[in-house]
Amino acid sequence: MAEDSRGGPACSRAGESQDLAQSASRCKFPEYELPELSTCVFHVGSFGELWRGRLRGAGDLSLRELAAAELPGSLGVTDSHRDDAAVARDLGCSLEAAAELRTVCGLDKLKCLEEGEDLEVIPEDTDLVTLRARKSFLEHREETITIDRACRQETFAYEMESHAMGKKPENPVDMIEEGELILSVNILYPIIFHKHKEHKPYQTMLVLGRQKLTELRDAICCVSDLQIGGEFSNTPDQAPEHISKDLYKSAFFYFEGTFYNDKRYPECRDLSRTIIEWSESHDRGYGKFQTARMEDFTFNDLNIKLGFPYLYCHQGDCEHVVVITDIRLVHHDDCLDRTLYPLLTKKHWLWTRKCFVCKMYTARWVTNNDSFAPEDPCFFCDVCFRMLHYDSEGNKLGEFLAYPYVDPGTFN
């Protein structure tokens, strides 16, 4: 998988990237590029075709769930021997070893709970290291004051991963085809978030190989898209007409020397033009960049490296590092409803900024040059903001500038 169809050039580019990473490590910017952890360049669609061609028969690609009679451990004698032969061939072991594996690891060897036995209670005399570690972790959690938040976040992460597991569409037309590729994409915090600028993916999504890049672009949630422009100290009740995403629709992905610009709307601009002109103004060693329309390309059309940092840019200068960490074929335990993709599977939990006055509710307003506030800027929830800055009839008190504030924890 790590070999490029063109042979050496990809590997030489990896060597060049390593030199760039080493030089970058001497500056103050976070180092996202770790060449030893990424593959060489490969074409996603071609890799999928090669993968499907290597599998033996249609059964390896089937999304049909196995019937009870087809499950391991429920086979007859003849079928057991045939199954042992297949295991021996796949693992490269002897038939005797395969038969022993079936005997020791069969479904009939799984332990069932006794009546009235609680699955959450870990026995004291367990010999399993994993259970002992789990028990120690739970005991430590009970002794800390962060038990509630830890439990909420663990439950939240589990629900994110499992809510669509094995889900099938109501309309058969929306069923994912057998042999479809699924890519795992990590979206990191934008660089302007200094607290999380190092290596913090705040969203992990699964995308299908046949999906267009614009579908991922529309699924990415960023607080920059929700910003509201304007100063509202004199008209706090005025409903904003637009958010930033409605006004500034331009964006691009960068993958392997190509900028994929979103050109679906007449007002979209080519944000990559400035970068390309800067690169071409002098021989900076980056080669010649290409441009393409984001809406014309699917993930199967891309040349990528797994584990390599790419770029998603929107709102002019809000830049997210994008890392594709995994590529695989769809399985019958996956979500099989194509309408749910890109499928959000993980989301980082952010502390919300509380109101400076009540310390309870999430901030909704930020003020500058505020004679009533001890800090500049200062954050307020809607109730405290109005009680402090306006009289009972809604008239403005004092001098200050007020702007709507969208908290990054909005997406929790």
Q: What is the pLDDT of residue 200?
A: 67
Q: What is the pLDDT of residue 211?
A: 93
Q: Is the pTM of this model over 0.85?
A: no
Q: What is the pLDDT along the chain (412 residues), one digit of tens a residue?
A: 433 433 444 444 444 444 444 443 444 444 555 656 777 888 999 988 888 888 766 566 777 665 554 555 454 555 677 788 888 888 888 888 888 888 888 777 777 767 777 777 888 888 888 888 888 888 877 776 444 444 555 555 556 666 777 788 888 888 888 889 999 999 887 765 555 545 667 788 999 999 999 999 999 888 777 777 778 888 888 767 777 777 788 899 999 989 999 998 888 888 888 888 888 887 777 778 889 999 999 999 999 998 888 999 988 888 888 999 999 998 888 888 889 899 988 877 777 888 888 888 888 888 988 888 888 889 999 889 988 888 888 888 888 898 888 887 766 5
Q: What is the pLDDT of residue 12?
A: 41
Q: What is the pLDDT of residue 9?
A: 41
Q: What is the pLDDT of residue 193?
A: 53
Question: What string of H, E and C letters represents the secondary structure of the chain?
Answer: CCCCCCCHHHHHHHHHHHHHHHHHCCCCCCCCCCHHHCCCCEEHHHHHHHHHHHCCCHHHCCCCCCCHHHCCCCCCHHHHHHHHHHHHHHHCCCHHHHHHHHHHHCHHHCCCCCCCCCCCCCCCCCCCHHHHHHHHHHHHHHCCCCHHHHHHHHHHHHHHHHCCCCCCCCCHHHECCCCCEEEEEEEECCCCCHHHCCCCEEEEEEEECCCEHHHHHHHCCCHHHHCCCCCCCCCCCCCCCCCHHHHCCCEEEEECCEEEECCCCCCCCCCCHHHHHHHHHCCCCCCCCEEEEHHHCEHHHCEECCCCEEEEEECCCEEEEEEEEEEEECCCCCCCEHHHCCEEEEECCCCCCECCCCCCCECCEEEECCCCCCCCCEEECHHHHHHHHECCCCCECCCCEEEECCCHHHHC
Q: What is the pLDDT of residue 296?
A: 93
